[in-house]
Structure 1
Amino acid sequence: MMKTKVSVVKDFVIGKVEDTLFSSFIEQLGRAVYTGIYEPDHPDCDDKGFRKDVVKLVKDLGISLVRYPGGNFLSGYDWKDGIGPRDKRPVRLDRAWKTIETNQVGIDDFYDWTQRTGTRILGAVNMGTGTVQDAGDLVEYCNYPGGTYWSDLRRKNGHDKPYGIKTWCVGNEMDGPWQICHLDAHDYGKKALEAIKMMKWTDDSIKCVVCGSAASTMPTYPEWDRIVLEHTYDMADYISIHRYFENLGDDDDFLASFYDMDQFIKTSTATCDYVKALKRSKKTMMLSFDEWNIWYQKNQTEHGWEKAPRLLEDNYNLLDALAFGGMVITLLNHSDRVKIACLAQLINVIAPITTEPKKGSFVQTIYYPFKDMCRFGKGVSLQPVVRTENKITKSYGEVPAVVFSAVYNEEEKTVTIFALNTSKNDDSETEIDLASFADTKLSYWSVLCGTDLSARNSFEKPDNVKSEILNEGVLSKVEQNKGVYKIQLKKASWNVLRFNIC
């Protein structure tokens, strides 16, 4: 049995948790859009062809922004192909993913979908084959009220009111040689600066995200980020970072993925602050972690030119969900600088939600810690002071066996503790000290764990893995003395504990 103590002090504020930290991503890739969100011949679709079961699951998650339309797809995409009457839209080759794009869903249709799901769009402009003019025209089409060519075309296409898309990604992963029209850092920085100028001259209320590194493993990282920021620092509002993780055969390493993510954020932040000093700027650059998830890239398969093929459809197990929980904790613990975070992706493609054409849907194991984050992560993040045992990993050396984040919601008068016990062998006898909050009461405790870490959900067993909410009888037996609680965190478990402030 391990011994752990965590102290949460009201004044140890990391930063405000923006609602944009609870965001996701849909790309015109695989079945994310077609038979994912849009399936007009599905027996339970609405008048726009959107699947009602998916709308409900997305609404239940409570996400804010959805990044659209890409992704690698973005760098070869002409947004004008996706507007106007559907029967007149061109069918194109999507060279990024070697598929056939029918363009039956475009920016107008996606906006309609966000109105149903209660989400907002994190827009994206093409910095591959696209031009600076294209970027400005798209912002005009989406955000300008009317009386110009592009805004009046939007109105003609059925949307009288502007969409008010307030945040835009200026390209996608332009540091990657796999990207259509890949640019080096200087060329991208120059092009991105001109695109931002055009976009903000069209709508001066928007914010822009420039492309940072596609992964901490890129040979150009973090030099790419530095160079791009030196070109764009005065005009950009965020720089993006992307990172995916997978189990390469060592469970302890995999469960410590949070450590790699933490170091990535710290290095990216330091790079931003270097450029801030270089520029003698008063502005602090924020991070948009607009692609993160677990992705088994080794599972990619060859395919021909198809419409909406089954691509990157990982089926996550319990171990994946636990590693995912560590990433949730890391994002919350960096809420002072990470202001946007998009789980990539949302439906079918490395996603928490899986659908079957003309049939039903189910949620993957990672749905639960993501929903916990979206539901209970609102407020200000506090810096927990943790004393716990360390474990040795091959890739990262010593890392803490139990990790925490804490969020204080003054309006709701709650403190939420997110806790991950990464040990596969030992429970943790844990002391939680909330004495700085006066009187508190444990009101909610959910646990995601199990004896079989390889267990998964499926259409046949949709609830095989899910969080268990402990009942009032269990909560009432938790030992508590003057704001100090003694609980037991099960081995290999994801925990959410909510405390009411009396």
Structure 2
Amino acid sequence: MLIDKEFKIAEIDKRIYGSFIEHLGRAVYGGIYEPGHSTADENGFRQDVIELVKELQVPIVRYPGGNMVSAYNWEDGVGPRENRPKRLELAWRVTETNEMGTNEFMDWAKAANTDVMMAINLGTRGIDAARNLIEYCNHPGGTYWSDLRREHGYENPHNIKTWCLGNEMDGPWQVGHKTANEYGRIAAETAKALRLVDPSIELVSCGSSNSNMPTFPEWEATTLDHTYEHVDYISLHQYYGNRNNDTANYLAKSLDMDNFIKTVISTCDYIKAKKRSKKTINLSFDEWNVWFHSNEQDKQIEPWTVAPPQLEDVYTFEDALLVGSMLNTMLKHSDRVKVACMAQLVNVIAPIMTENGGGAWKQTIFYPYYYTSVYGRGTALNPIVQSPKYDSKDFTDVPYLDTSVVYNEKKDELVIFAVNRHLENDLHVNIDVRSFEGFEVVEHVVLENEDAKATNTLENEQVKPHSNGQSYKEVGKVVGILPKFSWNMIRLQKQKINK
């Protein structure tokens, strides 16, 4: 492998390490919000959860959905709690109490040191509700909706910068599902109205719900024909699972993610050319993760209950490796992927799990997310990699070595994230780092386990990293061993010369 500081992809937007909280399952109720819990503050926010979110350094959180937003009346979640209605929540067929709403979530985000990406309902609603919501959130005062916010105890505007124009509107499962032309028209007109209220905002147009949709990528082309000059990003959503218990094939699925990103970029640039536009649309990969473990148990949930356990995937060691590769994939496309949201943050297909009334713990996928978020800040570099390859059921020429590289010039730090996909053999790597003179290896973190299906619980953390990785600096290169079937972070720092 050759790494050179001149082989720059892009400056990484920190929002690539974002996440997502939907009013779904125990993400909100029992996750971030549980009044009466031993760690809850005066707002009912679980401090044990907030500390874990802070540890991840999550820069932005998408809210309040997700499928849920497509039939959500935002007005139900503001004002005195005792006056808020309980509603049938149609996306997940539960009862929504509306104890948590817009203002409470903004309070939580402030406590968790994160920004908010607000999603609006373009399923059952449209321009009018959207322009009222942004007036409520972002206008200083002197108008009906902004003064109502002030009456609710929020004198200063929330100044939410990033807004999603609906959610997965290509999906037949979506309440208010639309054709591409229908969505493109309403999204463009809503975008124009929102910008009239606050010209400083950024807007995300709905892309395809996943790369297997029959309308992909025609959906992107058609909707962008309407929205191109009115939005800044188009969204991508993708989840993967190992339903056939084929680990080699499963670990290769980040190649599918790579192809998905490339196809969306191509489609955006086609519309740019078609319109003779000087504007470039970037990508918001605002739902991504592993999701398949909980599918069967979710079918047994009693309808119209309040905050039942839903989508509570218990993640395995091999899931953590794929998550590491998915993060690598986005870093390799950081010239166009500017925002991304691991879906979701707590309890619901999440890196953080809780017990109601009990503790909180880190799932296996927490660790690659944590290290990449904390140490993957700076400039993404394009390494020249030569790796042995393998074929699997769905993929050919899969490199055993999957890697991304980040150079943080301010910290004089070079970080290599690497997954060894080989199930049986270590990978011996020689990394040419001649352009990083004076840099030495300061840490080699390894996530490894003999059991691909090992999981973490509150009482027993079977999957956790260690810092005993074998890598060292020689003249002009780093020599290292990536253990079989492992995720790695090799961190180098420039050594200060004492005069």
TM-score with structure 1 setting the length: 0.97
Match of 2:274 in 1: 278
Match of 1:466 in 2: 464
SS at match of 2:411: coil
**Would you say the 8 A contact 2:295–2:311 is kept in 1?**
no
Query: Could you tell me which amino acid in structure 2 is paired with residue 63 of structure 1?
Result: V
Match of 1:439 in 2: 438
Query: Could you tell me which amino acid in structure 2 is paired with residue 20 of structure 1?
Result: R
**Would you say the 8 A contact 2:473–2:479 is kept in 1?**
yes
How much has 1:482 moved relative to structure 2? 2.2
Asked if 1:258 is matched to 2:258, the reply is no
For 1:469 and 1:93, how far apart are their aligned partners in 2?
49
Match of 1:486 in 2: 479
- The equivalences for 1:255-404 within 5 A come to 255-296=251-292, 298-299=295-296, 300-303=298-301, 304-404=303-403
Asked if 1:496 is matched to 2:489, the reply is yes
Match of 1:40 in 2: 35
Match of 2:189 in 1: 194
How much has 1:298 moved relative to structure 2? 3.4
Query: Could you tell me which amino acid in structure 1 is paired with residue 491 of structure 2?
Result: R
SS at match of 2:435: helix
Query: Could you tell me which amino acid in structure 2 is paired with residue 255 of structure 1?
Result: L
Match of 2:410 in 1: 411
Pick from 228, 238, 242: which aligns with 1:243? Answer: 238
For 1:139 and 1:22, how far apart are their aligned partners in 2?
25
Query: Could you tell me which amino acid in structure 1 is paired with residue 137 of structure 2?
Result: C
**CA offset digits 1:213-263 (Å, max 9, x no partner):** 000000000000000000000011000010000012211111111101000
**CA offset digits 1:318-373 (Å, max 9, x no partner):** 01101111101101100000000000000000000111111111110000000011
Change (3 A) 1:312 1:34: same
**Would you say the 8 A contact 2:123–2:166 is kept in 1?**
yes
Q: Structure 1: where are the runs of 5+ without partners? A: 1-5
**Would you say the 8 A contact 1:301–1:311 is kept in 2?**
no
Query: Could you tell me which amino acid in structure 1 is paired with residue 257 of structure 2?
Result: M
Asked if 1:132 is matched to 2:127, the reply is yes
**Would you say the 8 A contact 1:440–1:483 is kept in 2?**
no
**Would you say the 8 A contact 1:129–1:180 is kept in 2?**
yes
For 1:397 and 1:336, how far apart are their aligned partners in 2?
26
How much has 1:480 moved relative to structure 2? 2.7
Query: Could you tell me which amino acid in structure 1 is paired with residue 480 of structure 2?
Result: I
Query: Could you tell me which amino acid in structure 2 is paired with residue 186 of structure 1?
Result: N
Match of 1:166 in 2: 161
For 2:86 and 2:449, how far apart are their aligned partners in 1?
47
Comparing 62-71 with 37-46, greater Cα deviation is found at 37-46
For 2:9 and 2:472, how far apart are their aligned partners in 1?
29
For 2:402 and 2:455, how far apart are their aligned partners in 1?
24
Match of 1:71 in 2: 66
SS at match of 1:324: helix
How much has 1:398 moved relative to structure 2? 1.7
How much has 1:42 moved relative to structure 2? 1.1
Pick from 17, 22, 43: which aligns with 1:22? Answer: 17
For 2:411 and 2:479, how far apart are their aligned partners in 1?
24
Match of 1:227 in 2: 222
**CA offset digits 1:149-200 (Å, max 9, x no partner):** 1111111111111111100000000000000010000000000001001101
Query: Could you tell me which amino acid in structure 2 is paired with residue 482 of structure 1?
Result: V
Query: Could you tell me which amino acid in structure 2 is paired with residue 252 of structure 1?
Result: A
Counting matched residue pairs gives 491
Match of 2:78 in 1: 83
Comparing 433-442 with 338-347, greater Cα deviation is found at 433-442
Query: Could you tell me which amino acid in structure 2 is paired with residue 316 of structure 1?
Result: Y
SS at match of 1:362: strand
Query: Could you tell me which amino acid in structure 1 is paired with residue 216 of structure 2?
Result: Y
Query: Could you tell me which amino acid in structure 2 is paired with residue 250 of structure 1?
Result: D
How much has 1:501 moved relative to structure 2? 2.3
Structure 1 ranges of 4+ moved more than 6 A: none
TM-score with structure 2 setting the length: 0.97
Query: Could you tell me which amino acid in structure 2 is paired with residue 261 of structure 1?
Result: M
Q: Structure 2: where are the runs of 5+ without partners? A: none
**CA offset digits 1:44-69 (Å, max 9, x no partner):** 20000111111111011101000000
% identical equivalent positions: 47
How much has 1:479 moved relative to structure 2? 4.3
**Would you say the 8 A contact 1:211–1:239 is kept in 2?**
yes
**Would you say the 8 A contact 2:208–2:216 is kept in 1?**
yes
Query: Could you tell me which amino acid in structure 2 is paired with residue 468 of structure 1?
Result: H
Pick from 106, 110, 114: which aligns with 1:111? Answer: 106
**Would you say the 8 A contact 2:441–2:473 is kept in 1?**
no
Asked if 1:213 is matched to 2:234, the reply is no
How much has 1:273 moved relative to structure 2? 0.4
